[in-house]
């Protein structure tokens, strides 16, 4: 393989801009993805996201009357049991048992609801819905009490309610035959679990900082690790679905394929944000040809009993393991050694194949056990790849150090502008003045997006649109140009990578990644994980 040419790292995504009076920074600690707080967040990422994947799967299997329905529910139940030791390590055995009592029961309530729906049992559905509503309140209260209010009960209830709604929305779209929308909602609900784990881990760490060596779960390095974990494990979930659907000849097979395409685009955007367009393009080429495309072909060959085609496809997948491992080794300048990367990719592929082969053989319990092993394995991949990237570009992931003034602030210091927004809220507050937007900030694929027009006009910039796909923001002497559907923009004609494609949300408003736009414009960002609000501050001349 040709050595990967690494373009300059996208500083606008990874380096905060420090605005305000001249200051002297204290020594900056080396960035790391492997801190006690980052480990906590990763553990919650794993267990909570796996719960979502297994919950939706168990509901669909039960509704369809699939042969593996019992094994699917058993895997979901085991996920709840596996959470107990993690909770015990923080809140003791009594806290863990109470957590498990509440959490495990809600899986049963969901199963009751599905079965009542299938039987057209309206009374049964109402009872299950009441039980689920009670779970939202009880579990939110539990989290509020356990964290000593660091995650307020109301905020916890809102998060749990959102999760339950997303699970139900995904399932209902499936039962109505709108498979494309079902898997769109599936991906949204999956992403939400990582937002919840970030909020919960932040609350736990702020409650008992010494237990986590005063480290933080929301650093840039921890964010990278979480994002890579999300992308890697979602791939496993979608790959297992695709191969099963292909083998079974399911009606939603094409929708799963489309979800995989969207996932590939998101993974490419993440790689591009670090290694530039050339790196992203090279990733996509390797990722798709002998990998994503080969999964369905393997399932098809197995179904047809075509041993020769199956062997040929397995050889292609093995070639992918070699090539992709070499890509990762070259991209990370061997901070993730090529041999280690190849071994990890090959181990992952073997687990995906084993999950499918056991499913095809009708050994459903073994198939789900192997799936869960494969899913968990990806969190080690995310950690090691994240560690390699942070080691490679450590200064880009270091947190802003505490600062001390070097001289008194001048009498004519610039005024401070403050902007407040909240995820899923239409309220916008700028310097104490409240405006109601016709849209809201949102979270998609573990990235927070904010409305471009409202933020820009609120701080005095002019926004124009060509009625098609180009948006211009005129801020002082600078002109920012954005294109809908593109993962790059221009500042005064200079191209900058955004890292995620510019989107139009359900309200018809253009939304941009919060981190990108604020760091581009030099805003200081402060998150409130208790209510998912964000405050932006900048000294304006």
| Block residue for tokens 């061997």 | 334
Q: Buried b / exposed e across 33-55, counting CB within 10 Å, b at 16+?
A: bbbbbbbbbbbbbbbbbbbbbbb
Same domain for 429 and 352:
no
Please indicate, yes or no, whether residues 242 and 388 belong to a single structural domain of this protein.
yes
The set of residues, in sequence order, having a beta carbon less than 8 Å from that of 124 and lying 6+ positions away, is: 112, 113, 115, 116
pLDDT tens per residue across span 225-241: 999 999 999 999 999 99
467 with 348, same domain: the answer is no
Across 61-78, average pLDDT:
97
User: Which of 334, 362, 396 is a domain's end point?
Assistant: 396
pTM recorded for the entire structure: 0.74
Q: Does a structural domain hold residue 21? A: no
Q: Are 111 and 147 within 8 A, CB to CB?
A: no
Q: Which of 362, 396, 430 is the last residue of a domain?
A: 396
Q: Is residue 18 part of a domain?
A: no
Q: Residue 429: which CATH number?
A: 3.30.457.10
The reply to whether 266 and 125 lie within a common domain is yes
Instruction: Identify whether the C-beta of residue 162 lies closer than 8 Å to the C-beta of residue 440.
Output: no
Q: Is residue 29 part of a domain?
A: no
Nearest Cα neighbor of 353 from 240, 503, 475, 213 is 240
Q: Domain check: are 307 and 198 in the same one?
A: yes
Closest CA to 490 of 509, 471, 508: 471
pLDDT reported for residue 501: 79
> Do residues 240 and 334 share a domain?
yes
Torsion of Cα atoms, 19 then 21 then 27 then 30, to 10°: -10
Quick one: pLDDT at residue 540? 57
Q: pLDDT tens-digit profile of 304-313?
A: 999 999 999 9
Same domain? For 253 and 152 the reply is: yes
Q: Which residue has the higher pLDDT, 455 or 209?
A: 209
pLDDT in tens, 407-422: 444 444 445 678 888 8
pLDDT tens-place string over residues 486-516 = 888 888 888 888 877 788 888 888 888 887 7
| Res. 461: pLDDT tops 80 | no
Residue whose token pair is 């909602």: 185
Q: Is residue 405 part of a domain?
A: no
Q: Contact, 453 vs 476, CB < 8 A?
A: no
pLDDT at 534 over 70: yes
Mean pLDDT of the chain: 87
**Band of pLDDT at residue 480, cut at 50, 70 and 90:** confident
Q: Which of 396, 425, 449 is at the close of a domain?
A: 396
Q: How far is CA 209 from CA 5, 37, 131, in A?
A: 41, 9, 35
Residue 401 pLDDT level (bands cut at 50, 70, 90): low
Evaluate whether 33 touches 383 at the Cβ level (below 8 Å).
Answer: yes
Evaluate whether residue 71 is within a structural domain: yes
Q: The tokens of 282 are what?
A: 């090279």
| Total domain count, the chain | 2
Exposure on the CB side of residue 541, measured as CA atoms within 13 A? 6
**Count helices and strands in the chain by DSSP H and E runs:** 15, 16
Q: CA distances (Å), 422 to each of 219, 527, 534, 535, in order?
A: 20, 10, 6, 9
The shares of helix, strand and coil residues in the chain, as percent rounded to the nearest 5, are 65, 15, 25
Question: Would you give the DSSP letter of residue 67?
Answer: T
Same domain, 81 and 114: yes
Q: Which of 65, 54, 64, 361 is nearest to 237 (CA)?
A: 54
pLDDT at 415: 55
> Each residue of 109-123: pLDDT tens digit?
999 999 999 999 999
| Residues paired with 482 in a beta bridge | 471, 489
392 plus 421 within the same structural domain? no
Residue, of 99 and 491, whose pLDDT is higher: 99
* Range(s) of the domain holding residue 166: 36-396
Given a contact cutoff of 8 angstroms between Cβ atoms, the answer to whether 314 and 349 are in contact is no
Coil vs helix vs strand at 43: helix
- Residue 522 backbone phi and psi in degrees, to 5: 80, 35
What integer pLDDT is reported at residue 433 of this predicted model? 80
Whether residue 327 lies inside any domain: the answer is: yes
- Asked whether residue 383 falls in the same domain as residue 420, the answer is no
Same-domain check for residues 376 and 519: no
In a domain, 22, yes or no: no
The reported pLDDT for the residue numbered 414 is: 42
Higher pLDDT, 74 or 428: 74
The residue-averaged pLDDT of 383-392 equals: 96
Q: What's the alpha-carbon Rg for the chain, to the nearest Å?
A: 24
Element (H, E) at 477: none
Residues 190-210: pLDDT tens digits?
999 999 999 999 999 999 999
Say if residue 193 is exposed, middle or buried (CB neighbours under 10 Å; 0-12, 13-18, 19+). Answer: buried
Q: Give whole-number Cα distances, 17 to 11, 409, 420, in Å.
A: 10, 19, 19
Secondary structure of 336-352 in HEC code, one letter for each residue: CCHHHHHHHHHHHHHHH
Nearest CA among 81, 75, 104, 78 for reference residue 367: 75
Task: Quote the tokens at residue 63.
Answer: 């509704």
For residue 287, the Cα-to-chain-centroid distance in whole angstroms is 19
* Contact assessment for residue 73 and residue 59, using Cβ atoms and an 8 Å cutoff: no
440 and 346 both lie in a single domain: no
Give the Cβ contact number of residue 260 at 10 Å.
22
- Cβ–Cβ contacts within 10 Å for residue 369, how many? 18
For 312-345, write each residue's pLDDT tens digit. 999 999 999 999 999 999 999 999 999 999 999 9
Residue 253 lies in a domain: yes
């Amino acid at each position: 393989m040709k050595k990967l040419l690494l373009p300059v790292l996208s500083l606008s995504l990874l380096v905060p801009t420090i605005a305000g009076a001249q200051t002297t920074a204290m020594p900056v600690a080396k960035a790391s993805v492997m801190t006690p707080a980052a480990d906590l967040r990763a553990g919650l990422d794993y267990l909570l996201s796996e719960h979502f994947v297994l919950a939706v799967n168990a509901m669909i299997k039960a509704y369809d009357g699939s042969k593996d329905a019992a094994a699917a529910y058993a895997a979901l139940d085991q996920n709840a049991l596996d959470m107990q030791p993690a909770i015990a390590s923080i809140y003791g055995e009594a806290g863990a048992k109470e957590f498990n009592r509440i959490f495990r029961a809600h899986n049963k309530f969901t199963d009751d609801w599905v079965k009542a729906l299938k039987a057209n049992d309206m009374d049964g559905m109402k009872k299950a819905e009441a039980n689920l509503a009670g779970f939202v309140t009880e579990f939110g209260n539990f989290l509020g009490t356990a964290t000593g209010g660091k995650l307020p009960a109301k905020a916890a209830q809102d998060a749990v309610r959102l999760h339950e709604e997303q699970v139900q929305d995904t399932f209902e779209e499936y039962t109505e035959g709108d498979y494309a929308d079902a898997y769109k909602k599936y991906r949204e609900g999956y992403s939400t679990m990582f937002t919840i784990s970030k909020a919960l881990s932040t609350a736990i760490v702020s409650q008992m900082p010494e237990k986590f060596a005063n480290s933080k779960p929301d650093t840039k390095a921890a964010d990278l690790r979480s994002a890579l974990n999300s992308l890697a494990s979602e791939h496993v979930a979608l790959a297992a679905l695709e191969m099963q659907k292909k083998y079974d000849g399911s009606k939603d097979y094409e929708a799963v394929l489309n979800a995989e395409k969207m996932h590939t685009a998101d993974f490419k955007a993440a790689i591009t944000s670090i290694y530039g367009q050339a790196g992203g393009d090279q990733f996509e080429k390797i990722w798709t040809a002998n990998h994503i495309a080969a999964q369905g072909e393997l399932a098809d060959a197995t179904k047809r009993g075509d041993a020769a085609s199956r062997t040929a496809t397995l050889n292609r997948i093995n070639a992918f393991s070699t090539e992709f491992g070499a890509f990762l080794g070259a991209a990370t300048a061997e901070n993730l050694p090529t041999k280690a990367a190849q071994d990890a990719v090959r181990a992952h592929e073997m687990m995906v194949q084993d999950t499918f082969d056991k499913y095809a053989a009708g050994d459903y319990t073994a198939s789900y056990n192997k799936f869960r092993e494969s899913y968990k394995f990806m969190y080690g991949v995310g950690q090691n790849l994240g560690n390699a990237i942070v080691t490679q570009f450590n200064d880009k992931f270091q947190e802003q150090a505490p600062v001390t003034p070097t001289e008194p602030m001048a009498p004519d210091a610039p005024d401070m502008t403050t902007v407040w927004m909240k995820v899923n809220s239409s309220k916008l507050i700028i310097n104490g003045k409240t405006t109601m937007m016709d849209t809201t900030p949102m979270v998609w694929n573990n990235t927070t997006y904010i409305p471009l027009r409202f933020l820009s006009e609120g701080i005095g910039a002019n926004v124009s649109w060509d009625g098609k796909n180009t948006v211009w923001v005129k801020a002082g002497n600078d002109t920012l140009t954005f294109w809908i559907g593109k993962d790059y923009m221009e500042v005064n004609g200079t191209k900058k990578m955004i890292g995620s494609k510019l989107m139009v949300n359900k309200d018809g408003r253009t939304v941009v990644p919060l981190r990108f736009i604020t760091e581009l414009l030099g805003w200081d960002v402060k998150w409130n994980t208790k209510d998912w609000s964000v405050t932006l501050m900048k000294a304006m001349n």
